[in-house]
C-alpha cells in the first residue's frame, strides 16, 4: 500500500480550476513533486518543491502544501491537461527512498 | 539534448534474469543520483531503486530487495538494473529517471524530484 494517498479520479469543466491532493505523513517533513502522465507516455515533472515549475510547464499549474497534504492546482484547465497525475516524496522513514501516490485520473469535461 | 534511453526489456520466464540499461546523454551523468521506477499494466508508478552519483550507496523497495541490483558505470554514462528471480508481478514498464536533490529550509532537510525520464522498457515475466 502507498504511503501517499490520492483520490483515484477527479473531473473539471473546461476552463475551470481543479485541485488534486496528496496526503501522507512524510509530507509534514518533505516537499512533494508532481508528475503528469498521458497514455503511452513517460511521466513529466510539472511541479517540485514549494511551488516550482520546470521550464515549459504552463503557469496554470501550481503547487502548495499544508500539514500532511500537498496540492496541485490547475487554474483554467485545458483539454490537454487530461491525464494521470502522481505525487511523489521521500518516504516517512527519512531514508533517501521515494514513494508515489496511487495517482489521480483527471478528466476535463 | 538531455536524454535517457532504456533498453534490455523483453519476455522472460518466472525465475529468470534480465539486465536493464539506461544510457544517459546531454548532461554530466556522474553528478546525478539516478532512480528506477516501474509501472505495471494499467497501474500506477512505483519507485524501485536509487543509486547515488558515485555508486557507493543504493536503496531498494521492499518488493525487490535481495532480487534486484542497481549499478552504474559513469565512464559509460550508463545506469543498470540487474533483475534476478523474476516473478509475474515484476511485469511492468521500467523507467529510469534523473533525480535532483534540493535543500528545504522549513523543515530543514532535502527533498528529491525526478526531472528527466526515459521512455521506458517493457519487461514481461511469463511462462
B45–A50 CB contact, under 8 Å: no
| Phi and psi torsions of B29, nearest 5° | -55, -40
Query: Shortest Cα distance from A61 to chain B (angstroms)?
Result: 16
Q: What per-residue confidence (pLDDT) applies to B107? A: 78
Over the Cα atoms of chain B, what is R_g?
15
Beta strand spans in A3-103 (E): 5-6, 9-12, 18-23, 33-37, 44-48, 61-66, 69-74, 83-90, 98-100
Q: What per-residue confidence (pLDDT) applies to A93? A: 77
Peptide bond just before B107 cis, omega within 30 deg:
yes
Q: What per-residue confidence (pLDDT) applies to A92? A: 76
A33–B112 CB contact, under 8 Å: yes
C-alpha cell at B67: 532480487
Taking 70 as the pLDDT cut, the residues of chain B under it are none
A101–B119 CB contact, under 8 Å: no
Query: Shortest Cα distance from B48 to chain A (angstroms)?
Result: 9
Q: Nearest residue of A to residue B49 by CA position?
A: A97
B112–A90 CB contact, under 8 Å: yes
How many whole angstroms separate alpha carbon B36 and alpha carbon B124? 16
Q: Is the predicted pLDDT of residue A96 greater than 90, yes or no?
A: no
Query: Shortest Cα distance from B96 to chain A (angstroms)?
Result: 10
A99–B37 CB contact, under 8 Å: no
How many whole angstroms separate alpha carbon B76 and alpha carbon B99? 18
Instruction: Find chain A residues with C-beta within 8 A of B63's C-beta.
Output: none
Which pLDDT band, with edges at 50, 70 and 90, does A103 fall under?
A: very high
Instruction: Tell me the helix, strand and coil percentages in chain B, rounded to 5.
Output: 5, 55, 40
B115–A48 CB contact, under 8 Å: yes
Q: Nearest residue of A to residue B42 by CA position?
A: A39
Q: What per-residue confidence (pLDDT) applies to B64? A: 97
Q: What per-residue confidence (pLDDT) applies to A1? A: 43
Amino acid at each position: 500500500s502507498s504511503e501517499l494517498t490520492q483520490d483515484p479520479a477527479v473531473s473539471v469543466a473546461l476552463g475551470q480550476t481543479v485541485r488534486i491532493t496528496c496526503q501522507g505523513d512524510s509530507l509534514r517533513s518533505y516537499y512533494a513533486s508532481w508528475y503528469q502522465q498521458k497514455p503511452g507516455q513517460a511521466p513529466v515533472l510539472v511541479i517540485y518543491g514549494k511551488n516550482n515549475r520546470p521550464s515549459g510547464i504552463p503557469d496554470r499549474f501550481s503547487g502548495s502544501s499544508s500539514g500532511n497534504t500537498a496540492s496541485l492546482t490547475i487554474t483554467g484547465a485545458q483539454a490537454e491537461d487530461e491525464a494521470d497525475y502522481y505525487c511523489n516524496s521521500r518516504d516517512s522513514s527519512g531514508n533517501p527512498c521515494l514513494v508515489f501516490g496511487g495517482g489521480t485520473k483527471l478528466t476535463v469535461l | 539534448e538531455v536524454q535517457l534511453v532504456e533498453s534490455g526489456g523483453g519476455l522472460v520466464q518466472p525465475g529468470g534474469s534480465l539486465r536493464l540499461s539506461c544510457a544517459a546523454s546531454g548532461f554530466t551523468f556522474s553528478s546525478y543520483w539516478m532512480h528506477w521506477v516501474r509501472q505495471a499494466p494499467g497501474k500506477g508508478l512505483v519507485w524501485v531503486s536509487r543509486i547515488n552519483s558515485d555508486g557507493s550507496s543504493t536503496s531498494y523497495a521492499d518488493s525487490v530487495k535481495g532480487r534486484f541490483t542497481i549499478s552504474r558505470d559513469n565512464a559509460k554514462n550508463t545506469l543498470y538494473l540487474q533483475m534476478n528471480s523474476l516473478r509475474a508481478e515484476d511485469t511492468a514498464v521500467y523507467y529510469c529517471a534523473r533525480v535532483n536533490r534540493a535543500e528545504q529550509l522549513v523543515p530543514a532537510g532535502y527533498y528529491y524530484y525526478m526531472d528527466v525520464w526515459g521512455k521506458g522498457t517493457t519487461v514481461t515475466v511469463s511462462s
